[in-house]
Structure 1
Amino acid sequence: MIGKVLVAYGTTNGSTAQVAETIGEVLHKDGLTVDVLPARSVASVSGYDAVVVGGALYAGRWHKDARRFLRRHRRVLAERPLWLFSSGPLDASASERDIPPVPGVQRAMTRLDAREHTTFGGCLEEGAKGAVARMILRSGKGGDFRDFTAIQEWAAHVAAELAGE
């Protein structure tokens, strides 16, 4: 019986945190006990029965906090049901087709026997931190491309899988 789920995330400007919170809300609504935490703040995953980890994508790489989280907790994660998500494309592509994980995330999925990975659209809006983010915004390529219906549907799918454990 799965009782307690951790949703950990790596984010710079907060949009991936909002995706993680949405996933946590759906899992909670489906009867699970859920903690949604920044990946860098998690000291241990041993108290959780299952884990969902998400990271923002930057230049084809997962957020460093998400990468470090997987490395730091790899032994325990390999023993638990694990799902991964990415957020990042600043266009509608994530809603139009399945985007495979970036190579580093694909390697982690294989090593940790993750159940599944999905990519959601990203969000980059005025006030974002970082020179590259500001340059993207100046070029007119920012915006909010997150599809919260798709995020909720994926979270419900994860909850259904956990209910079958």
Structure 2
Amino acid sequence: MTAKRVLVAYGTKHGATAGIATEIGKTLREDGLEAVVVRAGEVDDVRGYDAVVLGGALYAGRWSGEAESCADRNEINLKHRAVYLFSSGPVDSSAEQQAIPPVPGVARAMQRLGAREHITFGGSIGAGTPGFIARAMVRAGKGGDFRNPERIRTWAHHISAELGPAC
């Protein structure tokens, strides 16, 4: 039996989204799938994969340009695969309390790619996060790590169940 191949690609500025993608990849591998985790900017061809999980950080209501570019570059081939999208970004507990609809750019990507679903996870801003806005948020007491590893793993298990057993 050959394991289904899943590409987990992510666009991030400061690493929080990379952490989510890594957790998704690890969980998919635990479920028996062959999962490869890479930055979205490094993805030129998705044809070697049965499914693609593509995620991006949210900044000011926009999805990562790196993730959007990956979707654009690979649009034709993504349409012929199982595609799942995720966003990371709220630096509060809102992603835990309710489903957050995709921002407009992600909603358009879902339509174009025929994505099966989208989920938003909490983000992370800490003392080491670069940038004026991040530092100001931390100083104002609005920083923190709002990623929920259990919620991330639950979603990854859901993807594994949808993709089914190895071929």
TM category (shorter chain) comes to over 0.9
Between the two proteins, the alignment pairs up a number of residues equal to: 165
The residue that corresponds to 2:97 in the other structure is 96
* 2: CA distance, partners of 1:29 / 1:87: 23
Instruction: Give TM-score, length-normalised by structure 1.
Output: 0.95
* 2: CA distance, partners of 1:130 / 1:78: 36
Contact 2:78 2:113 (C-alpha < 8 Å) held by counterparts? yes
The residue that corresponds to 1:16 in the other structure is 17
Q: CA deviation at 1:47?
A: 0.8
* 2: CA distance, partners of 1:5 / 1:113: 17
State yes or no: 1:34 paired with 2:35: yes
The residue that corresponds to 2:147 in the other structure is 146
Q: Secondary structure at the match of 2:84?
A: strand
* 1: CA distance, partners of 2:42 / 2:114: 23
Contact 1:8 1:20 (C-alpha < 8 Å) held by counterparts? yes
The residue that corresponds to 1:133 in the other structure is 134
The residue that corresponds to 2:8 in the other structure is 7
Does the C-alpha gap of structure 1 residues 2 and 105 become closer, same or farther in structure 2, counting only changes over 3 Å?
A: farther
Q: Secondary structure at the match of 1:161?
A: helix
Q: What do residues 83-115 of structure 1 show as CA deviations (whole Å, max 9, x unaligned)?
A: 000011011010010000001000110111100
Q: CA deviation at 1:44?
A: 1.2
Identity score, percent: 53
Q: CA deviation at 1:2?
A: 6.5
CA root-mean-square deviation: 1.4
Point out where structure 2 has 5 or more consecutive residues left out of the alignment. none
Structure 2 letter corresponding to 1:68 = S
Q: Secondary structure at the match of 2:56?
A: strand
* 2: CA distance, partners of 1:114 / 1:161: 13
Instruction: Give TM-score, length-normalised by structure 2.
Output: 0.94
* 2: CA distance, partners of 1:31 / 1:124: 32
The residue that corresponds to 1:110 in the other structure is 111
Point out where structure 1 has 5 or more consecutive residues left out of the alignment. none
